[in-house]
Chains A and B, each alone.
Chain A
Amino acid sequence: MNRRDALSRVALLLGGTIIGGEVFLSGCTSADKKLGQSLDFTPDDVAFLDEVAETIIPRTDTPGAKDAKVGEFMTVMVKDCYDEKNQKIFLEGMTKLNEASRKKFNGNGFMKITPEQRKELLTELDKEQKDYAKNKKKEDEPHYFTQMKQLTLLGFFTSEPGATKALRYVAVPGRFDACVPYKKGDKAWAV
């Protein structure tokens, strides 16, 4: 029984696949794996997107993007809610982001760099997308990092941990109070 088989059996015992199992398995070969090859996102893709999202919205005293499974959410949205043009930009963007990491950090892809390095890289990309958006014409293609940031914010703040822990959420308010006191630091309503 090789490692892959062993993991599959564990997955069977648990009644499903192990999310992230592929990442664990492929640890030694990740440098060769290509990201975002198709809309059938791999566990590697999801793990990668989770880390991108977590860098944008990290766990603090409240949950972060990974807790909210934002990586998985992004794949669903890109698959179902993006048009072909935007899908292509997003998929290629995953590779571009990883290449930018390699270039900046001695050939290390995004999954291999430290959280501090990730923040440094994505801060640069955020500036890049902001400048790009400022100059782009309406019909121009969006920047891939604009897509990733938007999907992260949407996915996180509409997730259960995001809406109920990072923000405030009441499913059935039951009444409307038109004016209630607010003090700095109180969380915003999720909706």
Chain B
Amino acid sequence: MPGDSLNVHVNNKATVQNTYDAIVVGSGISGGWAAKEFCEKGLKTLVLERGRNVEHIKDYSGTEKNMWELAHHNRLTEEDKKNSPIQSKCYAFNEVSKKFFVNDVDNPYNQVKRFDWIRGYHVGGRSLMWGRQSYRWSDLDFEANAKDGYGVDWPIRYKDLAPWYSYVEKFAGINGSKDGLPHLPDGEFLPAMEMNCLEKHVAARIKESYNDRVMIIGRSANHTRQVGDRGPCQYRNRCHEGCPFGGYFSSNSATLPAAKKTGNLTLRPYSIVLDVIYDKDKKRATGVRILDSETMKTEEYYAKVVFLNASTLGTAQILLQSVSDAFPNGLGNTSGQVGHNLMDHHYGVGAHGEFDGFADQYFYGRRPNGIYIPRFRNINEKTKRTDYVRGFGYQGGANRGRPNSGDGIGVELKEQLTEPGPWSMGIAAWGEHLPDFRNKATLNKDKKDKWGLPTLDIDCEYRENEKAMRKDMMASAAEMLEKAGMKNINTFDSDPAPGFCIHEMGTARMGRDPKTSVLNGFNQMHDVKNVFITDGACMGSSACQNPSLTYMALTARAVDHAVTELKKGNI
């Protein structure tokens, strides 16, 4: 039985063959970057992935099919909903992509308060199904904690990360326009995608009507030009099924192949990391213990440096499971912050309207990207709000859709439904979620999963600041659409639970003070110098931008630091 898997003994025979220079736990967006950087710097690197392998293109079966070739024309079945009641609610979950989402029954967790945890346990993780929106942070974000007192001060500023943003953008392939906004810095962009005619109109009207905000084209990790052997994007808009054209950035398409090319990569799927092994005399981690989910055997792997990239909650779980005499409350948890300060973005609120006009305009192709209205609240004295701190940005787009139902039956109905309807546009806000110690994940040792491992109790909610912000998120959306001349404007608030934005962050935060944070300014554990965490767990605040690009930059920077420190003999 796997019930005792946390208490098995060390297997010494395999020590030599199980020793690497670096171990990376997780192969998602940040783990893939860690693997690439270590391998390219010449370190023998072991990447441990808890799920199965997914090879680029080869394992994207189904995405080449037309909708009528799928049994349910891409709709969900009752069985899907039964096996994955949480995952199946995700916008990216469909008849083809569902293989990239976990079975909720097999992967339980406990919702102390409602929390929709969307997961992909396979090589590439959620980098396969991610939303691809890629925005830099600025000092508005890095200084926020210090200025308003929520959370702890970030130990870095924009200047520390700017060159690393450039570094990762050039490899990842991010499209966008240079907009010259100080609080949403421009990057190293591939050609921007184009706004359609209504989006151009709305952008112009927003510019005329307001002096504090703009609407820009979204910046996404779709390749508008070929990037190495990837792409270009074919405008199918089926990214989350895996792209047979390599039209967007994922671990599978980009970082893992680059790592593999060096000859330094060992990728081990079916490897559930149980804990990090700590040597209290050396004050270093010596490696990790895994459970092989196929053989049900535990094994140990050793390395000079360990990167945890198991995702915000996965990484917290590993730390909390890594108990020893030195760290009875979890590895590197003398601050007591591990598992706490869990954040997501609160979203799903905005407005939608129709537009009379552009009846003689249409489009060709399916753009896998939308528009972005960068944050315009609390960015300076003039835009300061009294009802909440921080801010939000809008994503959305205009479309000329086809009515999906109509009155009557017969020829008249058929005709109604074969021509495009009026243009419409919707925008929805992504808002910052304040770090709060009370929002947390803890181990539940009474409820074990099928591997015999403790499950997580997740206790997280949106509080007063987020609730106050949401009112403005809805009202400002309607106001902007109105000023842009839209008709029949409807506001909406789908009131998603935390987790559902799939931007979990904060459970092992960076900070200046080891008493109040888990990681230093290089994502290095204050307590254990050869353990680094560069997934969402490291985030000290959430800002309102989609976070993956920042994880990439932090990861490349942290690997560079780790290797420098290794060479100096400091770790």
A interface residue numbers (CB < 8 A to B): 55-58, 60, 62, 64, 73, 76-77, 80-83, 119, 122-123, 126, 130, 149-150, 153-155, 157-160, 163, 166-167, 169-191
Contacts and interface: CB of A to CB of B under 8 A. Distances in A.
Instruction: Report which residue of B71, B360, B365, B419 has the largest number of chain A beta carbons within 10 angstroms of its beta carbon.
Output: B365
B66 A171 contact: yes
B420 A172 contact: no
B414 interface: yes
A176 B73 contact: no
A81 B236 contact: no
Given A170-B364, A175-B235, A180-B364, 19 more contacts: A56-B409, A57-B414, A60-B414, A64-B414, A76-B71, A76-B72, A80-B72, A80-B79, A81-B77, A154-B404, A169-B66, A173-B235, A176-B363, A176-B364, A178-B363, A181-B360, A185-B419, A188-B402, A191-B67
* Most B-side CB within 10 Å, residue of A82, A166, A174: A174
A158 B68 contact: yes
Contacts of B234: 172-174
A58 B415 CA distance: 11
A118 to B, nearest CB: 9
Contacts of A170: 364-365
Contacts of A80: 71-72, 77-79
Nearest to B410: A119
A166 B363 CA distance: 18
Contacts of A119: 409-410
A181 to B, nearest CB: 6
A184 B194 CA distance: 24
Contacts of B360: 181-183
6 contacts: A56-B410, A62-B418, A80-B77, A158-B73, A175-B364, A188-B420
Given A130-B407, A177-B364, A182-B361, A163 B414 contact: no
B196 A171 contact: no
B75 A179 contact: no
B569 interface: no
Nearest to A174: B234
Given A119-B409, A163-B67, A173-B236, A189 B419 contact: no
Contacts of B492: none
Contacts, number: 145
Contacts of A64: 414
A81 B75 contact: yes
Contacts of A182: 359-362, 400, 420
A180 B76 contact: no
Interface in B63-91: 66-68, 71-79
Nearest to A73: B73
Contacts of B364: 170, 173, 175-177, 180
A60 B409 contact: no
Interface of B: 66-68, 71-79, 193-197, 200, 234-236, 359-367, 400, 402, 404-405, 407-411, 413-414, 417-421
A118 B525 CA distance: 73
A180 B362 contact: yes
Nearest to A158: B73
A157 B236 contact: no
B409 A123 contact: yes
B363 A174 contact: no
Contacts of A82: 78
Given A76-B72, A163-B67, A182-B420, A58 B404 contact: no
Contact of A153 (B67, B400, B410, B417): B417
Contact of B366 (A154, A157, A166, A176): A176
Contacts of B200: 179
Contacts of B402: 157, 167, 188-190
A83 to B, nearest CB: 6
A123 B407 CA distance: 9
Contacts of A172: 234, 236
A171 B360 CA distance: 24
Contacts of A62: 418
B404 A174 contact: no
A34 to B, nearest CB: 25
A83 B82 CA distance: 11
Contacts of B67: 158, 163, 191
A57 B71 contact: no
Nearest to A173: B365
Contact of B408 (A60, A126, A186): A126
Nearest to A171: B66
B235 A179 contact: no
Contact of A179 (B79, B361, B420): B361
A62 B411 CA distance: 11
A153 B194 CA distance: 32
A106 to B, nearest CB: 22
Most chain B beta-carbon neighbours within 10 Å: one of A158, A167, A179: A179
A159 B194 contact: no
A176 B362 contact: no
Contact of A188 (B72, B73, B367, B419): B419
A178 B75 contact: no
Given A76-B72, A177-B363, A58 B414 contact: yes
Contacts of B236: 171-173
A160 B68 contact: yes
Contacts of B413: 56-57
Contacts of A171: 66, 236
Contacts of A176: 193-194, 235, 363-367
A188 to B, nearest CB: 4
Complex A-B, nearest 8 residue pairs according to Cβ-Cβ distance, in ascending order: A173-B365, A176-B365, A178-B194, A182-B362, A177-B364, A188-B420, A158-B73, A188-B402
A82 B80 CA distance: 12
B387 to A, nearest CB: 32
A81 B405 contact: no
